[in-house]
Amino acid sequence: MSKLVTIYGGSGFVGRYIARRMAKAGWRVRVAVRRPNEAMFVKTYGSVGQVEPVFCNIRDDASVASVMTGADAVVNCVGTFDARGRNSFENIHVEGAGRIARIAAAQGVGTMVHISALGADIDGESQYAQSKARGEEAVTEHMPQAVILRPSVIFGPEDQFFNRFAGMARLGPILPVVGGDTKFQPVYVDNVAEAAEMAVTGKAAPGVYELGGPDVQTFTEWMHEMLAVIHRRRLVLNMPFFVGNLMAFGFTVMQYATLGLVKNKVITFDQVKSLRTDNVVSEGARTLADLGITPTATEAVLPDYLWRFRPSGQYDEIMESAKNLRG
C-alpha cells in the first residue's frame, strides 16, 4: 500500500501545492482542515480516494491525533496573522505546532515538515516573528529530526501579496506602502512545495532551510515591478512607520467597534513592526540550492495571474497592439 501523509492546513495557499505534489508522487494524502466542505477541490489532485479532506482543529489533541493515525509523515502548514483570539499566534504558531509534533512523536510518525517563516526570531521585533521561532522550538522539542522551512514572502496565483496590491492599484493614482525601503526576497509557492516534498520523501536532511527567490528588492521596487506587469502607472508612496501605526490604530478600533464584523485585514501594529526588518535569506543558511531546487523568478510567473488587473484584462496587450495598426 502507498504511504500516507497528513497535511495540516492542506487546502491553504501553500498546503494545496504540497498536496498536489504528494499525490503526483503516489502518496495517499489526508488534508486536515477546519472546513472540509470548502476543501473538496483537493480531491481532484489524485485518483479516486487518493486525496481526502478531513476535519481537524489543531487546538485539540484528539482532533489532531485522529487524522494522524496511520500516517508515515506529517506536514504543518497552518499559520495565522491574528495576534489575539482563539486562532492567535500563541494558539496556532506555538501550541498548535507543538501539539502536532508531540502527537507525531507519540504515534511514531517518522517524518515531520514544519512551514515556519523567514525572520523567525525569539528576540524579533514582532510578535509574529517571535511566535514562529517559539513554534520551531516546540516542534524540535518533540521531533528533533524535523525539517523546518522558512519561506520569505510567497508569491503565486492565490497569493495575498502581489494580488492584494494589484487590486489596490485599480482604485486610484497613488499606491501607499509602509516600509517601502524594506527588502524582500519573494519565493514561488511551488518551490516551497517542492522543498516540502523532498523533505517528506527523505531527500532533505533534517534542520532549517531558508527559502527565498533569486531576486532581492525593496518593497517599493517590487511594487514597481508589479505595476509594470499590470500596465498601470501609479505613484508608489512610501509612508513613514508612524503613519502605518496610525492606520493600524484606526482599523483596529473599527474592528472592535463592530464587534469583529469588520476585521482589520489592512494593516496591524505587529505588521508595522515586521516591516521594519528586511525579509531576506541570511548569510550561511541552507537554502533551495542545498536541495537542488532552482528558484523561480517573479518575472516568469506574475504575468500568468496578474493580467486580470490590467485596464482591459486579458485583452490589454491586444488593444495596445491594435494602436499600431494603420488603416
250: in domain: no
245: in domain: no
How confident is the model over 51-82, as pLDDT tens digits?
999 999 999 999 999 999 999 999 999 999 88
- On the question of pLDDT at 326 being above 60, the answer is no
234: in domain: no
Our measurement of the distance from residue 108's CA atom to the centroid of its chain's CA atoms, rounded to an integer in Å, reads 28
Q: Closest Cα partner for 75 from 146, 174, 142, 137? A: 146
Domain of 67 in residue numbering reads as 4-154+186-212+279-295
Q: Taking the CA of residue 275 as centre, how many other CA atoms within 13 Å lie in the half-sphere pointing to its CB? A: 23
Q: Closest Cα partner for 29 from 59, 64, 53, 55? A: 53
Confidence band of 318 (pLDDT split at 50, 70, 90): low
Report the predicted TM-score, pTM, of the whole model to 2 decimal places. Answer: 0.94
Backbone region of residue 256 per phi and psi (left: phi > 0; alpha: psi in -120 to 50; beta: other values): alpha
Number of domains in the chain: 1
- On the question of pLDDT at 193 being above 70, the answer is yes
313: in domain: no
- On the question of pLDDT at 319 being above 70, the answer is no
Which of 32-36, 41-45, 257-261 shows the lowest per-residue confidence on average (mean pLDDT)? 257-261
- On the question of pLDDT at 26 being above 80, the answer is yes
233: in domain: no
How confident is the model over 249-263, as pLDDT tens digits?
998 899 889 887 888
According to the model, what pLDDT value does residue 240 have?
Answer: 95
242: in domain: no
Taking a C-beta distance cutoff of 8 angstroms, is the pair 29, 17 a contact?
no
196: in domain: yes
Taking a C-beta distance cutoff of 8 angstroms, is the pair 163, 129 a contact?
no
Q: What is the CATH number of the domain that holds 12?
A: 3.40.50.720
